[in-house]
Structure 1
């Protein structure tokens, strides 16, 4: 006797589902294992300090730091300047936008603290430049 189509489809579906579960179980067990994945670390520690590469990139680094300092020291018309952000903070306070004032004031504090950091970096780069010149590495 021939089984009806509904029973045959159900049987085939059940067989397919059980096969999928059997094949998926080992993959799921592997992904759920507590073993850490292999980390992508360097094969060995650095052997030098990268002085040659630093000396090579020095002009670009100096340009970037100088540009950032000039921008921060710019007037109220210079995008990214401390003076422009101070004006925006004053405008927010005048308009009574308390939350905007607080947000911009926090940005202003960060930006004011950034200037001495960049100036220190500028001095460091000058010292590195002198070292590179003395080594003939430029």
Structure 2
């Protein structure tokens, strides 16, 4: 029977087709996933790491050390150094003297966090020095 402009299309027919197509797609995906899981016989994926990443860490250690040193130099810089603790201390003092208590409180929390970074980075730098020592003794982790 031909559709006339006066007979509207039933929404349930369209909904049913959409539901059927969706269910078929989900079934196909689940079937493919099940087959892939069943086919895997305990093999590692090709992109899985085989070791502890010692060689990669040994290779990146000099760059990491430079970055830590640069950050520590910035944190320990003078008032003219952006990001330094001294500069932030001055900003806190300026906010306090101006009576901007909310600004002072916000900046003081940032200052507390920034101060806590220094010992953490110094500790990381010491740890990295022992890693570099290990790398030199173990052929840059090539055997690992």
TM beyond 0.5:
yes
The number of aligned residues is 120
Aligned: 1:85 with 2:85: no
Which blocks of at least 5 consecutive residues in structure 1 are unaligned?
1-6, 32-37
Distance 1:9 1:95 in 2: 76
1:23 maps to which residue? Answer: 17
1:125 maps to which residue? Answer: 128
Alignment of 1:78-117 (within 5 A): 78-117=81-120
Two-structure CA RMSD over aligned residues (Å)? 2.7
**Structure with higher RCO (Cα < 8 A, 6+ apart):** 2
TM-score computed with the length of structure 1 as normaliser: 0.75
- Deviation per CA, 1:86-123, whole angstroms, max 9, x where unpaired? 11111111111111111111110000001000000010
- Deviation per CA, 1:42-70, whole angstroms, max 9, x where unpaired? 85975421100000011110011000100
Aligned: 1:8 with 2:4: yes
TM-score computed with the length of structure 2 as normaliser: 0.72
Distance 2:6 2:138 in 1: 81
CA pair 130-10 structure 1, distance change in 2 beyond 3 A: farther
